[in-house]
């Protein structure tokens, strides 16, 4: 009798474990589908996720091989590629609207920055996004097509690198810039309203944050540094809120005319004196007018 009870208990436990595993596998597939479909719809470029794995005990969601394609007119297949991400989240959080997340750890992301048609790729991506609410994912079931929004306490980024491609004025060869550990805080709740940030805005904050760190690198020629800062400043202004303040603190006071001055240089124009502030003046040193021979 005792043996029979023992085996019954073992079978019940195995069935429970099997049932939980099947549920988690289904959740993993759902998460992968939602991230890909919502990302592609909101960003309007190809967004892929290699896989998702929700911990059987809860508390951790692992995302592998997340990537964001380049906007039209740019050569890189992937503008942003992410090796791994770990998300501190509970089952209940995943069902919320907006989804609430504690901390996201991003490992070894790679951002490729290139220029086409007088624009840097991340600025071109931001400019092509529609104003207001992002587009719903077409694959979502009827009545459940609301865009995914998130409230994130903090995103920690480590092991990142930014690759600046040739073609940008002042860049003759590709340059890889290692990015120090960085954090982006209070996403989707900077005003206390808890409305959440659209997935596209979260991705754009990560991209722009990495670009801002690259813009401060001593490896960059001064004109390229000023051009990059101008584009970062423009995108941060469009994203607004607490993120704009965080990026402003990293870049310093560039003045309102930096983005315009950077754009003028790409078009071969000479910015007016009032358009140039701080580091943007280096643009003229690199490209403005002809250098005079030293006597």
pLDDT for 196: 87
**Residues written for the chain:** 295
Four-point Cα dihedral 188, 194, 199, 204, nearest 10: -20
Write out the H or E segment, with its range, that includes residue 91: helix 91-94
**Quick check: 180 pLDDT over 70?**
yes
pLDDT for 168: 87
Which of 31-40, 138-147, 275-284 shows the lowest mean pLDDT across its residues? 275-284
What residues contact residue 141 under an 8 Å CB cut-off, 6+ apart?
none
Which of 20-24, 36-40, 282-286 shows the lowest mean pLDDT across its residues? 282-286
Using an 8 Å Cβ cutoff, are 148 and 196 in contact? no
Using an 8 Å Cβ cutoff, are 61 and 77 in contact? no
**Quick check: 211 pLDDT over 60?**
yes
Q: What is the mean pLDDT of residues 181-187?
A: 92
pLDDT above 70 coverage of the chain, percent: 69
Banded model confidence at residue 294, pLDDT cuts 50, 70, 90: very low
**Quick check: 229 pLDDT over 60?**
yes
- Gap between the Cα atoms of 98 and 194, Å rounded: 8
Using an 8 Å Cβ cutoff, are 151 and 98 in contact? yes
pLDDT for 124: 95
Banded model confidence at residue 295, pLDDT cuts 50, 70, 90: very low
Query: DSSP of 210-268, one letter per residue?
Result: HHHHHHT-TTS-HHHHHHHHHHHHHHHHHH-HHHHHHHHHHH----TTHHHHHHHHHTT
Banded model confidence at residue 225, pLDDT cuts 50, 70, 90: confident
- The conformation of residue 14, written as its DSSP 8-state character, comes to H
Banded model confidence at residue 247, pLDDT cuts 50, 70, 90: confident
Using an 8 Å Cβ cutoff, are 158 and 181 in contact? yes
Instruction: Provide the CB-side half-sphere exposure for 117 (13 A, CA).
Output: 10
pLDDT for 251: 75
Q: What is the mean pLDDT of residues 197-208?
A: 93
pLDDT digits over 259-290, tens only? 555 555 455 544 433 343 333 334 333 333 33
Q: What is the pTM of this model?
A: 0.76
């Amino acid at each position: 009798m005792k043996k029979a009870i023992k085996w019954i208990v073992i079978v019940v436990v195995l069935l429970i474990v099997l049932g939980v595993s099947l549920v988690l596998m289904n959740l993993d597939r759902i998460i992968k589908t939602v991230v890909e479909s919502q990302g592609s719809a909101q960003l309007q470029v190809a967004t892929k996720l290699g896989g998702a794995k929700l911990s059987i005990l809860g508390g951790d969601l692992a995302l592998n091989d997340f990537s964001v394609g380049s906007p039209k007119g740019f050569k890189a297949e992937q503008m942003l590629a992410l090796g791994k991400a770990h998300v501190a989240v509970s089952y209940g959080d995943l069902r919320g609207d907006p989804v609430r997340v504690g901390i996201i750890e991003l490992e070894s992301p790679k951002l490729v920055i290139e220029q086409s048609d007088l624009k840097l790729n991340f600025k071109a991506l931001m400019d092509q996004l529609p104003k207001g609410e992002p587009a719903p994912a077409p694959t979502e079931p009827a009545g459940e097509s609301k865009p995914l929004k998130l409230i994130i306490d903090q995103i920690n980024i480590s092991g990142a690198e930014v690759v600046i491609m040739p073609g940008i004025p002042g860049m003759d060869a590709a340059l890889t810039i290692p990015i120090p550990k960085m954090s982006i805080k209070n996403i989707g709740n900077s005003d206390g309203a808890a409305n959440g940030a659209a997935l596209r805005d979260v991705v754009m904050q990560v991209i722009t944050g990495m670009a801002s760190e690259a813009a401060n690198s001593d490896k960059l020629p001064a004109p390229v540094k000023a051009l990059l800062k101008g584009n970062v400043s423009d995108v941060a202004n469009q994203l607004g809120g607490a993120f704009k303040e965080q990026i402003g603190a990293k870049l310093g006071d560039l003045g309102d005319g930096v983005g315009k001055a950077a754009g003028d240089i790409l078009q071969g124009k000479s910015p007016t004196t009032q358009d140039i502030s701080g580091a943007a003046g280096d643009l003229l040193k690199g490209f403005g007018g002809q250098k005079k021979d030293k006597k």
